[in-house]
Amino acid sequence: MPQIITRNAPSVQGHWQKELANAIKSPTQLLQAVGLSAEDLGNDYIAKQDFPTLVPLPFVARMRSGDRHDPLLLQVLPLQAEHVQQPGYVQDPLEEHDTAAPGLLHKYKSRVLLMLKTACAVNCRYCFRRHFPYQENSVSKRDWQQAVDYIAARPEINEVILSGGDPLMAKDEHLAWLLSQLEGINHLTRLRIHTRLPVVIPSRLTPELIARLQQSRFNVVMVLHINHSNEIDDVLRKKLQPARSAGIHLLNQAVLLKGINDNLASMVALSETLFDAGVMPYYLHLLDKVSGAAHFDTPTHLAQELIQQMLLELPGFLVPKLVREVAGEGSKTPQDIFS
C-alpha cells in the first residue's frame, strides 16, 4: 500500500511568488517528484500537451509516493486520454469566450465575474477553461478600471466575484487598490473570491491579504476549490485559521472526477475534513464537457446516487449541492438527486 510521505519543504517556503516560480512544469519532473517514471505510465504517458503542466511543490508534497493512481496526481498529470476526442466535448462548454468588457463576464443579473488574472498557480487537467483564449483576454489595471466603471453604472449588481485564472495571482497591493475602488460603489455589498491558489500554495494567504479583507466593508466570501481530503494538510489548516478569525466565510466547491473522488468514502472524508478546517462544503459540480477531459466524467445518475448516500452518512449541512453549469443559464442548475 503506498504511503503518504512528507517531503522536505522547499527552501522558499513562505514566499508564495517564489513557490510559484519553482512549480513543476513538465510531466517527467512531476513523475520524478513522486517516485514514478514514464515507464510506470506506459501508453498513458504524454510529454507534450496543449495545456501546459503546472504544479506547485506544496501540492506535490501531499501526493503519495510511488502511486500512479494518487488522487492529487491524477488531477494535474497530463495523460494520453486527453488526446482522445469524444463527441459532445467542446472547447468552450459554457460559451464564455464573449466578455462584457475585458476580463468581465456579466452572466448573472446581480453578480459579475471579474477575471483579474489570466493564469492559475496550478493547471487542473479537467479545467473547463483549458482552452480559454487567455492571451486575448489578458487584463491590465486599465481594464480593471473599465470593469469598475461598468459595475458602477449598473445598480442591479450587488456582488463582484473575483475569478480568473486565479484572482489571487494578483499582488496584494493590486488587490488592495481594486478593493478600494469597489468599496466606493455603494450598491455593492459582497465580494466573493474564487481561488485554488491557497490550496496549492498555502503561503498565499499572507497576513497583509487577510488584514485588508478584514478591513473591508464587504461581506467577504472565499470559495476554495478542493476535490479530495488529501489536499488538506496541517499547513493549509493553519493558514486558513486567520482567515476564519478575520470573519471571511470559507466555502468549498469540488468537481466530481472519475477515479479521484467519485465514491462515498472519498466524498464523506472530503466533507468531514473541510468542516474540520473551517470550510463549508458548498457545491459539487458535474464535469463541464470540455474537450480533453472526457476521461474525468461521471454519469449523472451515479452522482445523484452518491449524494443520496451522503445524506445517509452526514448531517445535511455537510452535503454539497449537486450542480451543473449550463451555457446561457442565469445561475448554476441544481440537479434533482431523486429523478
Residues that bind ligand SF4 (CB under 6 A): 120, 122-124, 127, 129, 166, 196, 225
CA 125 – CA 337 distance, rounded (Å): 27
Task: Give phi and psi for 224, each to the nearest 5.
Answer: -85, 170
Q: How far is the CB of 219 from ligand SF4 (least distance, A)?
A: 23
Strand partners, 284: 254, 322
Q: Which is nearer to ligand SF4, 45 or 128 (CB)?
A: 128
Q: Which is nearer to ligand SF4, 195 or 206 (CB)?
A: 195
Q: Which is nearer to ligand SF4, 70 or 166 (CB)?
A: 166
Q: Which is nearer to ligand SF4, 185 or 254 (CB)?
A: 254
Which of 259, 260, 180 lies closest to 217 in space, CA to CA?
180
Q: How far is the CB of 251 from ligand SF4 (least distance, A)?
A: 15
Which of 317, 309, 316 lies closest to 279 in space, CA to CA?
317
Q: How far is the CB of 261 from ligand SF4 (least distance, A)?
A: 14
Q: How far is the CB of 338 from ligand SF4 (least distance, A)?
A: 29
Q: Which is nearer to ligand SF4, 129 or 295 (CB)?
A: 129
Residue pointed to by grid coordinates 466524498:
267
Helix 172-183 vs helix 141-152: angle between axes, to the nearest 10 degrees? 20
Task: Give phi and psi for 148, each to the nearest 5.
Answer: -60, -45
Q: Which is nearer to ligand SF4, 151 or 199 (CB)?
A: 199
Q: Which is nearer to ligand SF4, 120 or 267 (CB)?
A: 120
Q: How far is the CB of 309 from ligand SF4 (least distance, A)?
A: 26
Task: Give phi and psi for 251, each to the nearest 5.
Answer: -125, 165
328 phi-psi bin (left φ>0, alpha ψ -120 to 50, beta other): left
Q: Which is nearer to ligand SF4, 225 or 295 (CB)?
A: 225
Q: How far is the CB of 53 from ligand SF4 (least distance, A)?
A: 11
Are 207 and 238 in contact by the 8 Å Cβ rule? The answer is no
334 phi-psi bin (left φ>0, alpha ψ -120 to 50, beta other): beta
CA 292 – CA 123 distance, rounded (Å): 13
DSSP 186: T
Q: How far is the CB of 125 from ligand SF4 (least distance, A)?
A: 8
Q: How far is the CB of 297 from ligand SF4 (least distance, A)?
A: 15
In this structure, what C-alpha cell is assigned to residue 116? 483579474
With H, G, I as helix, E, B as strand and everything else as coil, classify residue 193.
Answer: strand
CA 260 – CA 267 distance, rounded (Å): 10
